Structure 1
Amino acid sequence: MLTVDNVSKKLSGKTILHDITLEFDHGVYGLLAPNGAGKTTLMKLLTTLLFPDSGSIRLDGEDIVVLGERYRGQVGYLPQDFGYYPGYTPRRFLRYIAALQGMPRRGSDERINAILAMVGLSDAADKRMRTFSGGMIQRVGIAQALVHDPRILILDEPTAGLDPKERVRFRNIIHSLAADRIVILSTHIVSDLETIAGHIVMLRDGTVYANASPADLCASLEGRIYEVPAGTPLAEDQRLLSEVQYGGATRLRIYSERPVVGAAVGAAGTADPAAGPITVAPNLEDAFLVIYGG
């Protein structure tokens, strides 16, 4: 188990994280917060790229700073911008990463072939990366985080640059890995977290605002998410979350503190776009916009 115990961190005199306490066990944990909320700082603390000003981070009861290389050898990390050599091929680059991890050449080649297949790069394994698209480079980044079969996988914006097909591949990879390891990832694509994360950690004002399953976060908004016709005036206790299109007509998706008079119970998209208000099932994007302001 990876434990964050009362951790605080300042950068340039500004408190980024304050008194953070979390526990990570096997499974997928999604970090969800706006830019500047401290997600990347927390990830850097978990990878020992930064160190806490107070508090501690422990793996199975041992401080990760004390564990040092013994801890880092169990971590796979994909930062927002990972460094690579454009003149290298994916195979050569992964051999380089494997060597840095102390993996023997004989065993690492078999592992590299399996990882390249996993991320869909077998056919491009021996092409120079300077010719790759941004999505292909991101797949190399995911591969380098996995090459040494880490116990803890930390991914910062892993789906950036991936097209819908690649994002589905990524979600499938994460599902297959999460059974026996800790996976911590952040992304601005809320739908990715909704489909793969068993736990959502929301940071706000440098503290943990919420730590719950996607289902529990959505359930907290049950009966307060509505769709209404475009142009409907909103009361003071109602908030516009988004606009949705049905058959060329626009409806407003709103959050309301009080029940909307005359609202029918329905599901998004099932009512006549010009019909009156309906209650709809909340989703994780609704929760994000309600908590952080939309």
Structure 2
Amino acid sequence: MPPARSTIVRGIEQVRERRKGMELRIQQLSKHFKDKKAVDEVSFTLTAGVWGLLGANGAGKTTLMRMIADLTAPTSGAVFYDGIEIRKMGETYRNLFGYLPQDFGYSRDFTVKDYLEYMAALKDVPIKETAGRIERLLELLTLSEVRGEKIAKLSGGMRRRVGIAQAMLNEPKVLVMDEPTAGLDPGERVRFRNLISEFSHDRIVLISTHIVSDVEYIASRNAIMKAGRIVDIGTTQELVRQIEGKVWEGAVSVEDLTEYEKRLRVVSRRDEGHGLVFIRYLSEKPELPKSATVPPRLEDLYLWLFPQTVLEKEGN
């Protein structure tokens, strides 16, 4: 029997109430290294839900995330959680924060279970809840069968899943993840997206990635970072409007494909057989006979803004 309408309405109101007031405000945040501005007066406010942080290598994403994690002191500016500067919150902030760096440290002698128990203790997870949380994350991240294996002997994808598990152990209110799906196969990426989508209902989740599909499907909003600055913020639909009419599809012969790939900004291609290949490309105007415009995607925008970037595709 379906739940009564009043029950559904109460549930929606409870979620809204939990989200109310939850925000992470980045205010004129900068970080300088000698003569380089890695992050240059960045200001925006994160609210509950999944946020994507997109940018090419060297854009300043990792430095920004380390300042949000209170691991790197800013040159100027500050980060505030619900109106309180995080550097003044100390342990209180660390207890509600989860972080997955690109490379997380661990002892080569640690098994998966040992490491998660160790991290649970560091994060002050209540002892009576530790075992249950670890078991749940091992199951969700399909690590149950390797719980007794040493992390150093696991594949790159499995180690990444262990890192995701440790970041989520304390059920953080703010979860920041730097390239979380690097090394995961397509099925693992789908499971990760589903897990994060469910986890983010009353939490702030910030994901930095160059695998655009990881955030395209689940992010409520995206921030685009270029040369240390946030150059645009919005939903996927809002952001891609700037390249409407600039994404095209057309057919070329297999023999001519290499020449076209040299002079066009090709996003993707698919072999249609009979010696023809359909290519999706970016341009102010049609460059192929009988080209047609197609609806833009976040991946198209990413390559428009960062033309030298090579995107990692699912399945690669």
Q: TM-score, normalised by structure 2?
A: 0.83
Aligned position for 1:241: 266
Give the CA deviation at 1:207: 1.1
Is 1:157 matched with 2:179?
Answer: yes
Of residues 121-130 and 242-251 in structure 1, the stretch that sits farther from structure 2 once superposed is: 242-251
| Distance (whole Å) between structure 1 residues aligned to residue 224 and residue 132 of structure 2 | 39
Give the CA deviation at 1:6: 1.0
Aligned position for 1:288: 302
Is 1:111 matched with 2:136?
Answer: no
Letter in 2 for 1:246: D
Give the CA deviation at 1:55: 1.4
Instruction: Report matched runs for 1:24-103 at 5 Å.
Output: 24-103=46-125
Q: Is the 8 A contact 2:267 2:282 kept in 1?
A: no
Letter in 2 for 1:137: R
| Distance (whole Å) between structure 2 residues aligned to residue 201 and residue 44 of structure 1 | 16
Cα distance, 1:228–1:19 mapped onto 2, change above 3 Å? same
Q: Is the 8 A contact 1:240 1:252 kept in 2?
A: no
Give the CA deviation at 1:239: 5.2
| Distance (whole Å) between structure 2 residues aligned to residue 134 and residue 218 of structure 1 | 33
After superposition, the CA RMSD in angstroms is 2.0
Give the CA deviation at 1:170: 0.6
Q: How many residues matched?
A: 278
Is 1:256 matched with 2:283?
Answer: yes
Letter in 2 for 1:55: G
Q: Is the 8 A contact 2:60 2:225 kept in 1?
A: yes
Q: Is the 8 A contact 1:241 1:289 kept in 2?
A: no
Aligned position for 2:39: 17
The C-alpha deviation readout for 1:174-208, integer Å capped at 9, x for no partner, is: 01111010000111111111112111111112211
Unpaired segments ≥5 residues, structure 1? 264-274
Stretches of 4+ aligned residues off by more than 6 angstroms:
none
Richer in helix (by share): 2
Of residues 134-143 and 197-206 in structure 1, the stretch that sits farther from structure 2 once superposed is: 197-206
The C-alpha deviation readout for 1:107-142, integer Å capped at 9, x for no partner, is: 211111111111111222122223311111111000
| Distance (whole Å) between structure 2 residues aligned to residue 200 and residue 239 of structure 1 | 27
Q: Is the 8 A contact 1:222 1:281 kept in 2?
A: yes
Q: Is the 8 A contact 2:95 2:124 kept in 1?
A: no
Unpaired segments ≥5 residues, structure 2? 1-22, 309-316
| Distance (whole Å) between structure 1 residues aligned to residue 268 and residue 129 of structure 2 | 53
| Distance (whole Å) between structure 2 residues aligned to residue 84 and residue 76 of structure 1 | 16
SS of aligned partner of 1:196: coil
The C-alpha deviation readout for 1:213-237, integer Å capped at 9, x for no partner, is: 1121223222221113335999xxx
Identical aligned residues as a percent: 40
Q: Choose from 156, 170, 180 the match for 1:148.
A: 170
Q: Choose from 291, 295, 298 the match for 1:277.
A: 291
